[in-house]
Amino acid sequence: MMAAVAAIVLGTLAVSYFTGPNAEADSTYNDNHGKVKNVIFLIPDGFSASYGTNYRWFKGKKSKMDEILVGMHRTYSADTKVTDSAAAGTAMATGVKTNNGMISMSPDGKKLKSILETVEEKGKATGLIATTTITYATPAVFASHVASRTNEALIAPQLLENGVDVLLGGGKKYFPAQLITKAKKGGYHYISSRDELLKGAAKSNKLLGLFADDALAPSLDRAETNQPTLAEMTETAINILQKNKEGFFLMVEGSQIDWAGHDNDAAWAMNDVAAFEEALVKALSFAKKDRHTLVVVAGDHDTGGMSVGGYDLYEANVEILRNVTATGDYMVTKLNARRSNVKAVVKKYTGLDLTDDEVGKVRAASKPDMAINKIVSERARIGWTSKVHTGVDIPLYAYGPGSDLFRGLHENTDLPVLMAKATKIKFDGK
């Protein structure tokens, strides 16, 4: 009898945990039995539970992700326990695991159909957004097929040939003039600045927005540019795609959470998570009004092996990152040739007073940005185990009709299959 009661209690707790704290309060909106017409898939690249925990302390309260937690997913690729973004993205787009470095191709070189390509065949509108180049690994896997992720020049024309209605991000250097001319003839409205995005771009039916030759600036440094925020791109894309009566599929990547992890730059990471959350708010706001939109959030892997606390101390001081106003990369550009102004530069952009020992480490470092990032992370008591990816399981979030399908522990290959199931579209990724 006691065992049965315990099982019931544990089961209730598990359901409560994986449906999120606001599941009951939002039941009229988060209706799992409604018809799914649209899917918005948001990918915070490099984001894991540790990023989520540190972000909660950084923000000072629960995040929008916390409210819609439903499960976890496994990230390993076909050839290794630690995936890269190409293999992880391929799994999340096609439902098939492949080798690291491959873009929607099977390990034996066969093209794999993506969930985006499948819904396009059903007449739905589609969109891809990234803060890296739009030809980078994660956006690429949804609408291109190449053996190596490095071949971005081959990926660019495929994105257009596959008919993706909205493409927003960086990577102008991969779209030569003749390709942009071809896009315009194919019905795309082409823009290259934030001003153009905000002044009527949503009136278009097809939109190609390339806001930098390479990747966009990190969110911490973007105020110095005329580049849009992830939230602005997301809102514009939704406004365009919702015109399609058959519905739409939109992938939104918070790309540079991953890049911050590679640099072990805790402030960059937290600020790009904040920018990602703002984009999620736009998606949830639309879904709440629309009532036929499934929102799914899943990082593709962990980057950097971030910890909450560290350095043999029982404490975390994440709050100090709120005072950091630039990335380590940017701070280095303000150092003079002899790096004699290290203390002043770091003070200006972080509010921290460096010790003489810390100043010496930055001045002597072969990579002064990494040295600065290490100091800031140590002051915040955020540890790092790697400068590349790790293989831990990743939180899975979902909201709206069909969100119950994502409860529990999944393979990353399950995600597009479940999205298709929610929209009642046949899809097996092969």
Query: According to the annotation, is 389 in a ligand binding site?
Result: yes
**Residue 294 · residue 405 · CB < 8 Å:** no
Count Cβ neighbours within 10 Å for each residue of 225-237 and write b for 16 or more, e otherwise. eebbbbbbbbbbb
Beta-bridge partners for 411: 74
Q: State the DSSP H helix or E strand holding residue 190, giving kind and residue range, or none if neither.
A: strand 189-191
Query: According to the annotation, is 253 in a ligand binding site?
Result: yes
Which residues fall within 8 angstroms of residue 305, CB to CB, at 6 or more apart? 50, 384, 385, 386, 390
Query: According to the annotation, is 292 in a ligand binding site?
Result: no
Report d(CA 156, CA 265) in Å as an integer. 30
Decide: residue 91, CB within 10 A, 0-12 exposed, 13-18 middle, 19+ buried.
Answer: buried
The residue written with tokens 């819609």 in the block is 68
Which residues fall within 8 angstroms of residue 141, CB to CB, at 6 or more apart? 86, 89, 90, 92, 93, 94, 103, 104, 114
Query: According to the annotation, is 145 in a ligand binding site?
Result: no
Query: According to the annotation, is 301 in a ligand binding site?
Result: yes
Catalytic residue selected from 48, 63, 77, 85? 85
Report d(CA 238, CA 201) in Å as an integer. 12
Query: According to the annotation, is 262 in a ligand binding site?
Result: yes
Q: Is 85 a catalytic residue?
A: yes
**Quick count: other Cβ atoms within 10 Å of Cβ 287?**
21
Query: According to the annotation, is 189 in a ligand binding site?
Result: no
State the binding site for Zn(2+): 45, 258, 262, 300-301, 389
State the binding site: 45, 138, 253, 258, 262, 300-301, 389
State the binding site for Mg(2+): 45, 138, 253
Residues taking part in catalysis: 85
